[in-house]
Amino acid sequence: MFNITDIRITKIEGDEKLRAFAAIIIDDCFLVGDLRIVEGEDGYFVSMPSKRKRDGSFKDIAYPLNNEARASIERQVLLAYETATGNRAISRIETGEENTVRPDLLSVGEFGFTPKLNP
């Protein structure tokens, strides 16, 4: 697995659901920016970087290929958000839904990858 060696949080004010942007540095050599910390109906979650397609929908442009990696990134980013802001970020990880397959994870098939599911 990889190590997240740094996380940078930029708090957002005045948005209805978006609470912050995050950037992660992996193994001191690869940066992934524009992760979004969003407050949803079931608590906080981390949304991967995406771009708007011509039809107006959004497509993730960087994302983990399995739920274990996604859960690790989300847990670390939300803990960094809590530390940076003092706000409690309750996510579905804490409610035991960590192994739920997210629909955006299934889109990796478009690139010829198959998502790995945790048993």
For 21-54, the pLDDT digits (tens) are: 999 999 999 999 999 999 988 889 999 999 999 9
Give domain status of residue 59, yes or no: yes
CA angle in degrees (0–180, nearest 5) for 27-58-67: 45
pLDDT score of 35: 96
For 96-118, the pLDDT digits (tens) are: 554 444 444 444 455 455 555 55
Give domain status of residue 116, yes or no: no
Number of domains, the chain: 1
Say which CATH number the domain at 9 has: 3.30.1120.40
Give domain status of residue 53, yes or no: yes
pTM to 2 decimal places: 0.74
Of the candidates 38, 57, 40, the residue with the CA atom closest to the CA atom of residue 48? 38
Residue type, 59: K
Q: Which residue has the tokens 């990858």?
A: 113
Q: Which residues fall within 8 angstroms of residue 37, CB to CB, at 6 or more apart?
A: 9, 18, 19, 20, 21, 22, 44, 45, 46, 47, 77, 78, 81, 89
- Residue 68: domain span: 4-111
Give domain status of residue 43, yes or no: yes
Give domain status of residue 24, yes or no: yes
